[in-house]
């Protein structure tokens, strides 16, 4: 199922390899555990740079993960500077 911000899938369904790379695009942000702060951006960026020409599906997920993690990085930097920061787009599930 496509998320609200991702275009509807067109053409053949993604292959198992594409689905795996799409998942890895999101999970690659865990590189932040090894390289604090910037690692959360480097992981999705690396997946996007490597796979963007091969698969529109993987590129879309990598860009989505990259945009989300850039927002997280900004939130972390603002907090470390003592500023209040609200993510520009987030489900406010806890009030």
pLDDT, residue 36, reads: 84
Q: What are the residue ranges spanned by the domains of the chain?
A: 35-51+64-82
pLDDT, residue 38, reads: 86
- Among 47, 56, 65, smallest CA distance to 13 is for 56
pLDDT confidence tier of residue 67, bands split at 50, 70 and 90:
very high
Q: pLDDT digit string (tens) for 6-46?
A: 555 567 899 999 999 999 999 999 998 898 878 899 999 99
HEC letters along 51-89: HCCCCHHHHHHHHHHHHHHHHHHHHHHHHHCCCCCCCCC
């Amino acid at each position: 199922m496509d998320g609200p911000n991702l275009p509807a899938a067109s053409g053949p369904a993604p292959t198992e390899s594409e689905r795996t790379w799409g998942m890895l695009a999101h999970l690659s942000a865990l590189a932040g555990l090894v390289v604090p702060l910037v690692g959360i951006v480097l992981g999705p960026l690396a997946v996007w740079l490597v796979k963007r020409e091969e698969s529109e599906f993987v590129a879309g997920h990598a860009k989505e993960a990259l945009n989300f993690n850039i927002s997280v990085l900004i939130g972390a930097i603002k907090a470390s500077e003592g500023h209040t920061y609200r993510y520009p787009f987030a489900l406010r599930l806890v009030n």
